[in-house]
Amino acid sequence: MVHKVVYILVCVAVAIALISGVIDSSSHDSEIDDFTDFFGPPDHNEDFTDFFGSSNSNSDCNEHGILSTSYRGSMAVTQTGLQCQEWNMQFPQSHGLTPEKETYANKGIGYHNYCRNPDDEPNGAWCYTMDPKVRWEYCACEPPSGTPGCNEYHHLYSEYAGKHNVTKSGKTCQNWSSKEPHGHGIDIEKPLYAKRGVGDHNYCRNPDDEPEGAWCFTTDPNTRMEYCECYEI
Residues 82 and 140 in one domain: yes
Question: In which domain, by residue range, is 113 found?
Answer: 61-145
Cα-based angle 82, 204, 182 (whole degrees, multiple of 5):
115
Question: Where among 97, 126, 145 does a domain terminate?
Answer: 145
Q: Are residues 179 and 121 in the same domain?
A: no
The domain tally of the chain equals 2
At position 8, the amino acid (one-letter code) is I
Which pLDDT band holds residue 67 (cuts at 50, 70, 90)? very high
Residues 223 and 177 in one domain: yes
Q: Are 152 and 227 contained in the same domain?
A: yes
Residue 77: the pLDDT is 83
We report the CATH number of the domain holding residue 195 as 2.40.20.10
Whether 228 maps to a domain, the answer reads: yes
pLDDT (mean) for 135-145: 84
Same-domain pairing of 169 and 136: no
- Distance between CA atoms of residues 83 and 74, nearest Å: 12
Q: Among candidates 155, 152, 138, 144, which has minimal Cα distance to 71?
A: 138
The DSSP secondary-structure symbol of 14 reads H
Q: Which of the residue ranges 46-55, 119-128, 189-198 would you say has the lowest mean pLDDT?
A: 46-55
State the pLDDT at residue 16. 60
For residue 106, the Cα-to-chain-centroid distance in whole angstroms is: 20
Residue where one domain finishes, among candidates 96, 118, 145: 145
Query: How far is the C-alpha of 226 from the C-alpha of 166, rounded, in Å?
Result: 9
Using alpha carbons only, how large is the chain's radius of gyration in Å? 32
Q: How far is CA 88 from CA 95, 108, 111, 124, in A?
A: 9, 12, 6, 20
Instruction: Decide if 26 is inside a domain.
Output: no
Average pLDDT of span 21-34: 39
Please tell me whether residues 113 and 168 are part of one structural domain.
Answer: no
In a domain? residue 45? no
Same domain, 135 and 159: no
Report pTM.
0.47
Among 127, 145, 163, residue at a domain's last position: 145
Alpha helices in the chain (DSSP H): 2-39, 49-52, 102-105, 191-194
* pLDDT, averaged across the chain: 78
Within a domain: 19: no
Question: How many angstroms separate the CA atoms of 190 and 195, rounded?
Answer: 9
Helix, coil or strand: residue 49: helix
Ranges 14-18, 74-78, 92-96, 175-179: which has the least confidence = 14-18
* pLDDT score, position 156: 85
Q: How far apart are CA 142 and CA 92, in angstroms?
A: 25
- Same domain for 65 and 96? yes
pLDDT for 81-132, tens place per residue? 787 888 999 999 999 999 999 999 999 999 988 899 999 999 999 999 988 8
Q: In the prediction, which pLDDT does 128 show?
A: 96
Residue-wise pLDDT for 145-183, tens only, equals 656 667 778 888 888 877 888 898 889 999 999 999 999
